[in-house]
Amino acid sequence: MKINKVREMSSEELVKELDELKKELFKLRFSLATNGLDNPLKIREVRRDIAKIKTVLREREMAK
């Protein structure tokens, strides 16, 4: 997910997307522990997307 796309989303959409990404990260970690992943780099991508969303939410909070 590109940072420009994240910045275009509303705060409500970001919170919803953050929740979905956290669930996906849990599933990926669980899958890695039980039977392995086809693409273990997917965990890194999801973690970075979560960080981007949290960064934008914090920027908006600080701007208020």
Containing structural domain, residue 45: 3-63
Count of structural domains within the chain: 1
Query: What letter represents residue 8's amino acid?
Result: E
The pLDDT tens digits of the residues spanning 9-32 come to: 999 999 999 999 999 999 999 999
Full-model pTM: 0.92
pLDDT confidence of residue 52: 97
Alpha-carbon span 55 to 33, nearest angstrom: 29
Q: Name the pLDDT band for 41 (thresholds 50, 70, 90).
A: very high
pLDDT confidence of residue 29: 95
CATH number at residue 22: 1.10.287.310
SS3 content of the chain, % helix, strand, coil (to 5): 85, 0, 15
